[in-house]
A = this chain, B = another copy of it.
């Protein structure tokens, strides 16, 4: 299946697109000559990854009847020194909050997302070192 994104230049360094009926604006900071109408584009790569695996994990856990009180997906990525500066390493931290959460099920959900469901991770794994960490807060 082919997927398409069409971004229109608005003004200065700002671009806009419609994604699934939602307006998304990307812009550079004011210091870089932009107007800060939206976030910077590169970090969106990390948001795509966090959102993709986050949705997988919460969906799998729901099927396992596991509902955390709170859940965060934190992605930390390292940038190269040389140009083009790009991510060469990323760590996904899955942080759950809740009493008596079954660690084995949380781990299984994370593994299933990484190996079977998350299309963003599947691409990034080919291009960078990836690791995962699980944190449970009672």
Distance, CA A27 to CA B30, complexed state (A): 29
Q: List 27 A-B contacts (CB under 8 A).
A: A1-B78, A1-B79, A3-B77, A4-B76, A5-B75, A7-B74, A9-B71, A9-B72, A17-B47, A17-B50, A19-B39, A22-B39, A26-B47, A28-B55, A33-B59, A41-B47, A41-B51, A42-B52, A44-B44, A79-B119, A84-B118, A84-B121, A86-B119, A87-B119, A123-B127, A126-B126, A126-B127
A14-65 with Cβ < 8 A to chain B: 15, 17, 19-22, 24, 26-29, 33-34, 36, 38-52, 54-55, 58-59
Residue of B nearest to A74 (CB): B6
